[in-house]
Chains A and B, each alone.
Chain A
Amino acid sequence: MVKSIAKKEFISTLRDSRFVALSVIVLLLLLAATMVGLHSYQTLQEEREVAQQTVNEQFANSADRHPHRMAHYGSYAFRPKSSISFLDFGMDSYTGASVYMEAHRQNSANFSQAQQSSSLIRFGEMTVAFVLQMLIPLLIIFLCFGAFTQEKETGTLTILLSQGVSLQQVAWAKIAGYSKVVLLVVAPALVLASLLLFGRGGFELNGDLYSRLLLFMLFYLLYFFIFIVLSVVLSALHQRSSTALVTLLGIWILFCVITPKATANLGATLYTTPTKAQMDVEVHEEVAKGVDGHNSGDERAEAIKQELLQTYGVATLEELPINFDGVLMAVGEEHSSKVYQEHFDELTAIFQKQNNISVFAGLLNPYLAVRHLSMGMAGSDFSHYIHFQNKAEQYRYNQSQELNHIQATKLKYGDKETRLSGDTWKNLKPFQYEAPGAGWALSNHSISLVALLLWLGLVCTLGIRLIGYSKIA
Chain B
Amino acid sequence: MRNFRILIKFEWFNFRADKGLLILTMLTLFAGIYGIYYGTTEIERQRENIKTLDVLTAQNVEEMKQKFPGDADAGDIGYYHSTYAIHNPDSWASLSLGQRDINPYYIKLRLLNLQSQLYDTDNINPLKVLSGNFDLAFVLVYLFPLLIIGLCFNILSVEKEQGTLPLLLSQPISLPLIVGAKLTFRIMIVLGLALILCLVAMLWGQVTPDIRILLWLSVVLFYSLFWFSVAFLVAAWQKNSAFNAVTLLGVWLMLTVIIPALLNVYVAVKQPVPQALDLTIKQREVVHGGWDKPKQETMEKFFALYPQWTDTVEIQGRFAWRWYYAFHHLGDVAVADLAGEYQQRLHARHELVEELNFLSVPVNVQGIFNAMAGSDLPSHLSFLQSATQYHDSLRGFYYPFLFKQVSFTHADYDKEPRHSFSSTPDFTSTYTGLYKLVISVLLVFFIGLLVFRIKQ
**Residue B245 at the chain A interface, CB threshold 8 Å:** yes
Q: Are A118 and B349 in contact (CB under 8 A)?
A: yes
In the complex the two chains form, is B106's CB within 8 Å of A112's CB? no
B131 pairs with A260, CB closer than 8 A = yes
CB nearest neighbor in B for A416: B318
Question: Does B276 lie within 8 Å of A100, measured CB to CB?
Answer: no
Q: Is chain B's interface secondary structure helix, strand, loop, or mixed overall? A: helix
Partner of A100, one of B106, B130, B275, B284: B284
Contact (Cβ within 8 A) B265 A273? no
Chain B residue nearest to A295 (CB atoms) is B67
B275 touches A354 (CB 8 A): no
A242 and B245 contacting across the interface, CB-CB below 8 Å: yes
B residues less than 8 Å from A138 (CB atoms): 249, 253
- The smallest beta-carbon distance between B257 and chain A, in angstroms, is 6
Q: How many A-B residue pairs have CB under 8 A?
A: 240
Question: What residues of chain A lie closer than 8 Å to B142, measured between beta carbons?
Answer: 257
Chain B 89-131, CB-CB to A under 8 Å as 1, else 0, gives: 0000000001100110010100000001001111111111111
- Hey, which chain B residues are within 8 Å of A145, CB to CB? 242
Chain A, 50-104, CB within 8 A of any chain B CB: 51, 54-55, 58, 63, 65, 69, 72-74, 76, 78, 90-91, 93-98, 100
The answer to whether A385 touches B126, judged by C-beta atoms less than 8 angstroms apart, is yes
**B119 near A110: Cβ-Cβ < 8 Å:** yes
Is A91's CB under 8 angstroms from B126's CB? Answer: yes
Residue of B nearest to A240 (CB): B161
Binds A, one of B132-140, B171-179, B221-229, B395-403: B132-140
Q: A40-B268, A109-B121, A116-B275 are in contact. Are A122 and B132 (CB under 8 A)?
A: yes
B297 within 8 A of A: no
Contact A276 B276 (CB under 8 A): no
A472 within 8 A of B: no
B99–A119 CB distance below 8 A: yes
In Å, the complex CA distance between A48 and B278 comes to 10
A279 interface hit (Cβ, 8 Å): yes
Given A114-B102, A417-B318, decide whether A278 and B129 contact each other with a Cβ distance below 8 A: no
Give chain B nearest CB distance to A307 CB in angstroms.
Answer: 26
Q: Which of A44, A120, A273, A281 contacts B260 (CB 8 A)?
A: A120
| Binary contact readout B343-360 vs A (1 if CB under 8 angstroms, 0 otherwise) | 000100110010000000
The answer to whether B377 touches A117, judged by C-beta atoms less than 8 angstroms apart, is yes
Q: Is the CB of A51 within 8 A of B277?
A: yes
B270-297, CB under 8 A of A: which get 1 and which 0?
0011111110110011001001100000
In the bound complex, residues from chain B placing their C-beta under 8 Å from that of A48 are: 275, 277
* CB pair A91 B127 closer than 8 Å: yes
Contact of B246 among A43, A51, A245, A275 (CB under 8 A): A245
- The answer to whether B349 touches A347 (Cβ under 8 A) is no
Contacts of B275 in A (CB 8 A): 44, 47-48, 97-98, 111, 113, 116
In the complex, what residues of B have CB within 8 A of residue A73's CB? 284, 288
Q: In whole angstroms, what is the CA distance A157 to B102 when docked? A: 55
A118-B379 Cα distance, complex, nearest whole Å? 11
Please determine whether B127 and A264 come into contact, CB atoms closer than 8 angstroms: yes
Residue B34, interface by CB 8 Å: yes
A265-B52 Cα distance, complex, nearest whole Å: 23
Say whether A126 faces chain B, with CB atoms less than 8 Å apart.
yes
Contact of A219 with B by CB under 8 A: no
Determine if A148 is an interface residue (Cβ-Cβ < 8 Å): no
Question: Which B-chain residue is minimally distant from A130 (CB atoms)?
Answer: B261
A92–B281 Cα distance when bound, in Å, is: 21
Residue A158 at the chain B interface, CB threshold 8 Å: no
| 8 Å CB contact of A273 from B125, B161, B245, B262 | B125
B259 to chain A, nearest CB (A): 9
Q: A145 vs B362: C-alpha distance in the bound complex, in angstroms?
A: 29
| A residues less than 8 Å from B150 (CB atoms) | 246
Contact A249/B249 with A36-B265, A97-B277, A119-B367 known, Cβ cut-off 8 Å: yes
For B264, give its contact among A78, A126, A258, A260 (CB under 8 Å): A126
Given known pairs A73-B284, A98-B280, A262-B134, the reply for A119 and B370 (CB within 8 Å) is: yes
Which chain B residues lie closer than 8 Å to A91 at the CB level? 126-127, 130
B60, B273, B288, B376: the one contacting A116 at CB < 8 Å is B273
Closest residue of A by beta carbon distance from B350: A118
Residues from chain A with a CB closer than 8 A to the CB of B276 are: 111, 116
A268 touches B242 (CB 8 A): no
Least distance between A173 CB and chain B CB atoms (Å): 23
Q: Is the CB of B264 within 8 A of A120?
A: yes
**B-chain residues with CB within 8 Å of residue A469 when the two chains form the complex:** none
Cβ contact within 8 Å between A112 and B121: yes
Question: Is B408 in contact with chain A by the CB < 8 A criterion?
Answer: no
Cβ-closest chain A residue relative to B371: A119
Q: Which residue of A lies closest to B45 (CB)?
A: A272
CA distance A100 to B113 in the complex (A): 15
- Are the CB atoms of A275 and B59 closer together than 8 Å? no
Chain A positions within 8 Å of B218 at CB level: none
Q: Knowing A65-B291, A94-B130 touch, does A123 contact B257 (C-beta < 8 A)? A: yes
Question: Which listed residue, A115, A258, A273, touches B102 by the CB 8 Å rule?
Answer: A115
Q: Give the interface centre of B257, B273, B370 by most chain A CB atoms within 10 Å.
A: B257
- Check B127–A123 contact: CB distance below 8 A: no
B56 proximity list for chain A (CB < 8 A): 277-278, 281
Question: Which residues of A, 237-269, contact B by the 8 Å Cβ criterion?
Answer: 241-242, 245-246, 249, 253, 257-258, 260-265, 267-269
Give the complex CA separation of A114 and B52 in angstroms. 27
Known: A116-B346, A269-B41, A358-B127. A249 touches B376 (CB 8 A): no
- Say yes or no: is B25 at the interface (Cβ < 8 Å to chain A): no
Say yes or no: A123 contacts B245, CB within 8 Å.
no
Interchain CA distance A263-B99 in the complex, whole Å: 19
CB distance from B338 to the nearest CB of A (A): 13
Q: A355-387 vs B: 1/0 string, CB under 8 Å?
A: 100100000000000000000000000100100
Q: How far is the CA of A287 from the CA of B196 in the complex (A)?
A: 52
A29 at interface, CB cutoff 8 A: yes
B318: chain A residues at CB < 8 Å are 416-417
Complex interface: chain A residues within 8 A of B191 (CB): none
Q: In the assembly, what is the distance between CA of A385 and CA of B123, in Å?
A: 13
Q: Does B38 sit at the interface, judged by CB under 8 A?
A: yes
Contact between chains at B121 and A110 (CB < 8 Å): yes
Query: Knowing A98-B277, A111-B276, A115-B103 touch, does A120 contact B52 (C-beta < 8 A)?
Result: no
Given contacts A118-B267, A242-B154, A267-B125, 9 further A-B contacts (CB under 8 A): A65-B291, A73-B288, A111-B276, A122-B99, A122-B366, A246-B245, A265-B38, A277-B108, A354-B127
23 of the cross-chain contacts (CB-CB < 8 Å) are A32-B262, A69-B291, A90-B130, A91-B130, A97-B275, A100-B116, A111-B280, A112-B102, A117-B264, A118-B267, A119-B377, A120-B263, A123-B261, A125-B261, A125-B264, A130-B257, A245-B245, A249-B245, A262-B34, A263-B131, A268-B125, A354-B128, A417-B318
Q: Which 4 A-B pairs have the closest CB atoms?
A: A123-B260, A264-B131, A91-B126, A126-B261
